[in-house]
Structure 1
Amino acid sequence: MPTRKIIVLNGHPGATSLSKSLCQAYIGAAKAQGHAVRYHDLSEMSFDQDYGQSGYQDSKPLEPVLDAFLSDLEWAEHVVLATPLWWGAIPAKLKGLFDRALLPGRAFDTRKVNFMGLPYPMLKGKTARVLLTSDTPSIFLRLFYGNAVKKFISRQIMGFVGIKPTKFTTFAPATDAVETTVKTWLSKVEILGAKAT
């Protein structure tokens, strides 16, 4: 199996979390198989989350942690994002990271648009895996909410900049998961990491 270049982003803003444990399990298994991995932890990243009211022509300079994240995103062939589901979406700080880092000129090109007027995606050729923790079981996410968070991440973030397909693995209910359940989840993620999928 060929090795891959992987960026792993722990999108949980807390210093300790199930998301972080899932990332560590994925990274350990991926590295054991010879894959190259670069890791970013949202809880350790300090940056202004608010894009502000200026346009793309006058955007805020990227803080070093955001520039490093974007450079590793450009380098990677596969993107792994671990995030909790909060209020039907992703944490505010994670949304702020995407708002600030995914900018024209590096993530998409507004000078080249398709027939629908959408800018050209500049991060094509990459795939993604989202490790989604939730207290809402997958069947309810689909039946009651139409998988809104999955569509938001896969189409409006990843897909917009050219990263696709985006595959999801959901772990729920997560808040009160017992130790044996968590171990099963970590083993599942290790399999994904070893295969770099």
Structure 2
Amino acid sequence: MQKRIFVLNGHPSESSLNRALAETYAAAARAAGHDVRLTHLRDMDFDPDYGFNGYDYHKPLEPDLETLLDHIDWAQHVVITSPMWWGGLPAKLKGMFDRSFLPGRSFDTRNPLASGMPRPMLKGRSARLIITSDTPRWFLSLAYRSAMIWQLRGQILKFVGITPTRVSYFAGVSKAKAGHTNKWLETVRGLGSSGA
């Protein structure tokens, strides 16, 4: 089944494994007949600092953040590639969420759920996280309780209604041999072809 897929390369540098993974996914999805939009965080121009206390006031969204939200509104499936730095998201990627996922656009504080939590406004979309790291997956789980994955999947995407979110995790990237990199790219190519 053809899907509308938005792919975000969340690595802030111009050239990276994350960029290659995002572009590989997007190319495979397009070749399989999916409708794909691809954005590189590196090319987005916005102030990542929210800069206010609470939601009574917030900065007007820059055009690139408005476009990001338009892409998410349009999409049925959202794919985000990101490195794990110091156990979390790159600062610009975290700033993108801080600035763009706001009440009235991504969640509704005026019409809460029965639990009292804000009502998600981005339901009807699934997601795929493609995370690169030097930390082995077993160690991330045992020592750090998969904090970054929980943050992205549970505290950000699920909070605004994007669920289910599946995760592909590639470890040992700084010293990866070509064979490993090619295997990761092939895995992502398969995900793109199936729109998963």
TM-score by length of 2: 0.98
Cα shift readout 1:106-153 (whole Å, capped 9, x = no counterpart): 111111112332111000011000000000011111111111111111
Alpha-carbon separation, structure 2, partners of 1:53 and 1:29: 41
Partner of 1:14: 13
Residue aligned with 1:21, SS? helix
Partner of 2:129: 130
Partner of 2:85: 86
TM-score by length of 1: 0.97
Partner of 2:58: 59
Residue aligned with 2:86, SS? coil
> What is the alpha-carbon root mean square deviation over aligned residues?
0.9
Partner of 1:166: 165
Partner of 1:5: 4
Corresponding letter in the other structure for 1:121 = P
Partner of 2:96: 97
Range with bigger deviation, 52-61 or 172-181 = 52-61
Residue aligned with 2:56, SS? helix
Residue aligned with 2:163, SS? coil
Deviation at 1:55, TM superposition (A): 3.7
Partner of 1:114: 113
Corresponding letter in the other structure for 1:45 = M
Which 5+ residue runs of structure 2 have no aligned equivalent?
Answer: none
Question: How many percent of aligned residue pairs carry the same amino acid?
Answer: 48
Corresponding letter in the other structure for 1:139 = W
Alpha-carbon separation, structure 2, partners of 1:54 and 1:62: 17
